[in-house]
Amino acid sequence: GQQLNQSPQSMFIQEGEDVSMNCTSSSIFNTWLWYKQDPGEGPVLLIALYKAGELTSNGRLTAQFGITRKDSFLNISASIPSDVGIYFCAGRLAGGSEKLVFGKGMKLTVNP
């Protein structure tokens, strides 16, 4: 129903490499948000997407709202050690719901 499938679940990369992650669902979303969470901390907003097809960048981060409104991806270019953390996608379902539905997260490890 309202599940978000986030993949991959984890990635181990070398500093300087690019990384991509995505979230898919069988449900339609009005908003996609990407958050980063460090251990013991709250989710910190990275990018917000509000329109189908929207492509938005924030420094080395780029995210897109899928045209079908059922998916979104996040790319990180030229990774650095401080990119380490857990990345969550979150979406607000079409139909007026206020709640955010979260993916299970992707744990990123960057080797210097």
Partner 1 sequence: EPEVTQTPSHQVTQMGQEVILRCVPISNHLYFYWYRQILGQKVEFLVSFYNNEISEKSEIFDDQFSVERPDGSNFTLKIRSTKLEDSAMYFCASGTSVVETQYFGPGTRLLVL
**Residues at the interface with partner 1 (CB under 8 A):** 30-31, 33, 35, 40-45, 48, 50, 88, 90, 92, 97-105
DSSP structural state of residue 59: T
Q: Are 49 and 31 in contact (CB under 8 A)?
A: yes
Minimum CB separation of residue 78 from partner 1 in Å reads 25
Minimum CB separation of residue 61 from partner 1 in Å reads 15
Question: Given the complex with partner 1, which of 6 and 79 has the nearer CB atom?
Answer: 6
Give the separation between CA 24 and CA 70, rounded to whole angstroms: 6
Question: Given the complex with partner 1, which of 63 and 79 has the nearer CB atom?
Answer: 63
User: What is the torsional sign of CA 97, 61, 42, 10?
Assistant: positive
